[in-house]
Amino acid sequence: MENIAILGSTGSIGRNSLEIIDKLGHMFRVVALAAGRNTRILETQIEKFRPKIVSLERKEDAEGLRQKYEHESVRITFSQEGAEEVARFEENDIIISAITGINGLRPTLAAVDSGKKIALANKESMVVAGSLIQNMAHESGAQIIPVDSEHSGVFQCLAKERMENVKKVILTASGGPFFWKSRREMENITLEEALQHPRWKMGKKVTVDSSTLMNKGLELIEARWLFSLEPRQLGILIHPQSIVHSLVEMCDGSVLAQLSPTDMKIPIQYALTYPSRENSLLPSLDLSQVKTLDFFEADVDKFSLIKAARLALEEGGSFPIALNAANEVAVSAFLERRIKFINISEVVMEIVERHQKREVLSLEEIFDADRDTRLMTQNLLKERY
C-alpha cells in the first residue's frame, strides 16, 4: 500500500484523485491533505480518509478545525508553510501537486526536494521554474509524472522511446467554447459563457485559460521542461473532440498518439499507478460513436495568447514568469468582473511585449520577477479599465 499526499485536495483534481483512490481502495492510503479555504469539503475528506496531517490557507480556519477534531490524531496546520509541511510529510510515497497557479510552487518544490514520486497537475510551477524543478528532481531522485492530460499522453507515447528519436511533440486543444466565434462576437463574452467548457470539467482558472487558449500556451512551456524539448519541437493542434490528447512524431515518420475518453480520472489514475496500470472505472472509448476526429490550426490572430506564450517559450529566462503572472492577474480581474474577456489577452500581450528579460536562477529571482510583473499588470488594469 502506498501513502498519498494531495496538495489542493478540495479542487477539481484533488476531488477526482480522492475518488480514484477510494475506488482503488487496497492500493493507496491518504496520509496528508493541503486545501485552501474550503473547510466544508476538507472536513468531509478528513472524516472519510482519516489523514494524519492537513493544512488550510488561513489560521482561523485551522483553529476551527482543531477544536472540531481535538480528540482525533490529525495534525492541523495552515498557510504556505503548512502546505509545504504536507508536501514534506515523511510518510508520503506519492505527492499529488494540484494547487492552482504560482501558489503551488513552494509546496511543489518541497515535494520534489523530498525525492518522492510527484503526480504533477500544477502546470504553472513548471512554467515559471521548470529548470529549477528538473535540477532539483535530478538531485533528489524525485520522479515527476504528469497529470495534465496532454502531457500524460506524451509521457505514455514516450514510455519505450529514446528522446533523441523524437522529432516533434504536438499537444491538442479542444479550442474551448469560443473557437468558432468571430473576433467581433468575442467582444461580448460573459463570465458565465467563459466558464462553460464544452469538453472538460475543471476549476475556474484553467477553464478561463482554456477559453483564451492560454492553457495551451502554458502547456507548451510545461512540455518543454517535462520532456527536455527544444521550443521548435513543440506544436499545437485544435481538436474539438478532445479524444486524441497528444501526438509524438518520431524521426522515422511514425506518429504515436494517445487517445482516451475525455475525463481527467484517466491521466490521474495513470500517474498514481505508474508504471503499472489498473482497470478503468469509465466506459471504453467507442470511436464508432465519435465517428470523426477533426484537426485545425490554431488561429493565433484571434487567440493572441498563443503568440504571447510562443514568445515566452522561445525567449526563456524571466519571460514565462511574466507571462504567467500577467495572466493570473488578468484572469482574477475577469473572474471578479473587473475586465472583459477580450481584455485578458490584451493585457497579457502588452505586459509580455513590455517585459525586459532577466536571468532567473534562484527561487528568489523567480518570485521577484513574479512580484514585479503582478504590480505592473495591476497598474495597467487600474490605468485602463
Q: Which helix (H) or strand (E) holds 289?
A: helix 287-290
Of 120 and 132, which has the nearer Cβ to Mg ion?
120
* Cβ neighbours of residue 279 closer than 8 Å, sequence gap 6 or more: none
Find the shortest distance in angstroms from Cβ 39 to Mg ion: 28
Measure CA 301 to chain center: 25
Q: Rounded CA gap, 88 and 134, in Å? A: 18
Find the shortest distance in angstroms from Cβ 376 to Mg ion: 28
Of 76 and 271, which has the nearer Cβ to Mg ion?
271
Looking at residues 132 to 161 of the shown chain, list those that interact with Mg ion (rule: CB under 5 A): 148-150
Q: What are phi and psi of 339, to 5 degrees?
A: -135, 165
Of 149 and 377, which has the nearer Cβ to Mg ion?
149
Find the shortest distance in angstroms from Cβ 203 to Mg ion: 12
Of 149 and 345, which has the nearer Cβ to Mg ion?
149
Q: Rounded CA gap, 79 and 54, in Å? A: 11
Answer for the pair 305, 348: CB distance below 8 angstroms, yes or no.
yes
Q: How long, in residues, is the chain?
A: 385
Find the shortest distance in angstroms from Cβ 326 to Mg ion: 20
Q: Does 209 bind Mg ion (CB under 5 A)?
A: no
Looking at residues 269 to 328 of the shown chain, list those that interact with Mg ion (rule: CB under 5 A): none
Answer for the pair 7, 118: CB distance below 8 angstroms, yes or no.
no
Find the shortest distance in angstroms from Cβ 1 to Mg ion: 29
Of 61 and 150, which has the nearer Cβ to Mg ion?
150
Candidates 191, 185, 15; CA nearest to 96 is 15
CA triple 250-175-331, angle to 5 deg: 115
Q: Rounded CA gap, 127 and 110, in Å? A: 17
Of 85 and 219, which has the nearer Cβ to Mg ion?
219
- State the residue number with the nearest CB to Mg ion: 148
Q: Rounded CA gap, 70 and 372, in Å? A: 42
Grid cell listed for 281: 472505472
Neighbouring-strand partners of residue 117: 94, 143
Find the shortest distance in angstroms from Cβ 205 to Mg ion: 13
Please tell me whether residue 238 adopts helix, strand or coil conformation.
strand
Of 103 and 149, which has the nearer Cβ to Mg ion?
149
Judged by CB under 5 A, how many residues of this single chain contact Mg ion?
A: 3
Edge-to-edge strand ranges of the sheet holding 75-78: 75-78, 53-56, 28-34, 2-7, 94-97, 117-120, 143-146
In the block, which residue shows the cell 476526429? 293
Handedness of CA 122, 123, 128, 134 (dihedral sign): positive
Q: Rounded CA gap, 325 and 111, in Å? A: 22
In the block, which residue shows the cell 503548512? 82
Grid cell listed for 280: 478503468
Of 18 and 171, which has the nearer Cβ to Mg ion?
171
Find the shortest distance in angstroms from Cβ 179 to Mg ion: 16
Question: Within a 10 A sphere around the Cβ of 265, how many other Cβ atoms?
Answer: 17
Find the shortest distance in angstroms from Cβ 274 to Mg ion: 18
Of 88 and 123, which has the nearer Cβ to Mg ion?
123
Find the shortest distance in angstroms from Cβ 210 to Mg ion: 8
Please tell me whether residue 113 adopts helix, strand or coil conformation.
helix
Of 127 and 380, which has the nearer Cβ to Mg ion?
127
Find the shortest distance in angstroms from Cβ 226 to Mg ion: 12
Residues in contact with Mg ion by CB under 5 A are 148-150
